[in-house]
Amino acid sequence: MLDMLASYLDQIAVYAPVWGFFFVFLFIVDAFGDATLDPASYATLSRAFSNFDGIVIYPGFFGYTKDGKVATFPRGGSDITGSILAAAVCADVYENFTDVDSVYPVDPRLVPEVSEGISTMTYREMRELAYAGFGVFADEAVIPAVRARIPINIRNTNHPSEPGTMIQQSRRVVPGTIVGIAAADNFCNIVVEKYLMNREVGFGRRLLHVLEEEGISYEHMPSGVDSQCIVVKGQCLPKSKELKVIQAIKRELNPDYVAVERDITILMIVGEGMCYTPGMLAKACLALASVGISVSMVNQGSSEVSFMIAIRQQDRETAVRALYKAFFGKA
């Protein structure tokens, strides 16, 4: 493996006076398969690399706890490691090589005819798209580079001459445009209704406390005057735990109605160009209505960089194609 890499570097005229594997421990905390970086590791890595002149080969995906046990990062662990190293050395850019020429505005598996990739996007846009299932770059991998304000360049290993997609702090924005559409399946919606809920101080806090006691994190929390919806990932609320959670909500809050809705797909429409632009949500809803898809829930953050639409999981592909046609004029 090392001989092959050395040969390639010779071919492209890259001089590497010293190179080899690096065994500076990356200390991490928390559980196996869901570890996070110990912040002290940044200083350790920075000191080690500052005295090294050459090409470093560093293993990704795992690190060590303070008691010497091996633990792995969550999804995209190798990308996370690369982002950590870029932040530790204050790199000018973090180049992440994958198997696509760029990040596409929609999943090519759902819209095969998509051909034009995204040239530039912001950290916020990438985070929103990665959250909803964009498989090119895990959302956790963005964090170290974002905090260090290091641009991320997604490139293709097989086509290294392609410019790829640059992810950075800001970009030139055209009002009324979006950068991408993402869809994620297997969400649940916990629906709680109670007359005069809005007058009951602490209702939302107590509802979230029930989920906290069961180790369930929530994704979205749309509400009405007398209703509260909590969207969670399906794996966080398996059917074996559903009855227990419902009973706990009934004991704690005495609601008029509580139920769990399953098989929900979350659609994320993302773009800095949506800020202060009227009609973006209407455009999306009209596109879905044109193909007979009912919207069950809508949620938007104050940043206006994205909005979420919940639909039935069985409508996922049709919905994505309709939105792509509406916003990009294709499909």
As a three-state string, the secondary structure of 50-87 is HCCCCEEECCCCEEECCCCCEEECCCCHHHHHHHHHHH
Q: Are 198 and 291 within one domain? A: no
Low-confidence winner among 36-40, 112-116, 145-149 (lowest mean pLDDT) = 36-40
CATH number, domain of 136, equals 3.40.1160.10
Q: Are residues 258 and 270 in the same domain?
A: no
Range with lowest mean pLDDT among 230-234, 277-281, 297-301: 297-301
Average pLDDT (266-271) is: 93
Q: 183 and 110 in contact (C-beta within 8 Å)?
A: yes
Whether the CA torsion 47, 49, 50, 52 is positive or negative: it is positive
Last residue of a domain, one of 262, 291, 307: 262
Tell me how far apart the alpha carbons of residues 219 and 328 are, in angstroms, rounded to a whole number. Answer: 28
* Residue 175 lies inside a defined structural domain of this protein: no
pLDDT of residue 44: 73
319: confidence class by pLDDT, cuts 50, 70, 90: very high
Do 67 and 127 fall within a single domain? yes
pLDDT tens for residues 97-122? 888 888 889 988 889 888 888 899 89
pLDDT digits (tens, 9 = 90+) for 247-256: 999 999 999 9
Whether 47 shows a pLDDT value over 80: the answer reads no
Residues 40, 96, single domain; the answer is: yes
How many folded domains does the chain comprise?
3
Residue 157 domain flag: yes
The better pLDDT of the pair 60, 270 is held by 270
Using the 3D structure, point to which of 212, 246, 262 is the last residue of a domain. Answer: 262
Say whether both 106 and 247 belong to one domain. Answer: no
Neighbour-count burial for 65-75, b at 16+ CB within 10 Å, e otherwise: beeeeebbbbe
End position of a domain, from candidates 213, 240, 262:
262
pLDDT (0 to 100) of residue 100:
81
What mean pLDDT is predicted for residues 266-276?
89
More confident residue, 221 or 53: 221
Model pLDDT, residue 294: 93
What's the CA gap between 69 and 193, in Å, rounded? Answer: 47
What pLDDT is stored for residue 138 in this prediction? 67
Euclidean distance between CA atoms 24 and 29, whole angstroms: 16
User: Which is higher by pLDDT, 142 or 313?
Assistant: 313
Q: Helices 316-328 and 280-290, interaxial angle, to 10°?
A: 130
> What is the 3-class SS of 178-231, one letter each residue?
CCEEEEEEEEEEEEEECCCHHHCCCHHHHHHHHHHHCCCCCCECCECCCEEEEE
224 in a structural domain: yes
Residue 23 has pLDDT above 50, yes or no: no
Mean per-residue pLDDT, 160-188:
89
Please report the pLDDT score of residue 274 as a whole number: 86
Domain enclosing residue 211, as ranges: 192-262
Give the side-chain half-sphere CA count within 13 A for 2.
9
In-domain check, residue 125 = yes
- pLDDT for 76: 64
Clarify whether residues 271 and 321 are in a common domain.
Answer: yes
Q: Are residues 108 and 164 in the same domain?
A: yes
Quote the pLDDT of residue 20: 43
Q: What is the mean pLDDT of the chain?
A: 82
180 within a domain of the structure (yes/no):
no
User: 130 or 282: which carries more pLDDT confidence?
Assistant: 282
The verdict on residue 320 lying in a domain is yes
According to the model, what pLDDT value does residue 238 have? 92
313 and 204 in one domain?
A: no
User: How confident is residue 266, by pLDDT bands cut at 50, 70 and 90?
Assistant: very high
Torsion of CA 165, 171, 174, 176, to 10 degrees: 80
Are 256 and 288 in the same domain?
A: no
Cα gap 285→308, rounded to integer Å: 11
Which DSSP letter does residue 118 get? B
- Give yes or no: residues 235 and 290 share one domain: no
- Residues of the chain with pLDDT > 90: what percent? 38
Q: Are 157 and 13 in a shared domain? A: yes
Looking at the domain assignment, is residue 324 inside a domain?
A: yes
pLDDT at 233: 93
Rg of the chain on CA atoms, in Å: 23
- Identify the pLDDT of residue 170: 85
The CATH number of the domain holding residue 272 is: 3.30.2130.10
231 lies in the same domain as 289: no
- Split at pLDDT 50, 70, 90, the class of 262 is very high
**Both tokens assigned to 45:** 């890595």
pLDDT tens-digit profile of 188-244? Answer: 999 999 999 989 999 999 999 999 999 999 998 988 899 999 999 999 999 999 999
**Residue 181, in any domain of the structure:** no
Element at 168 (helix H, strand E): strand 165-168
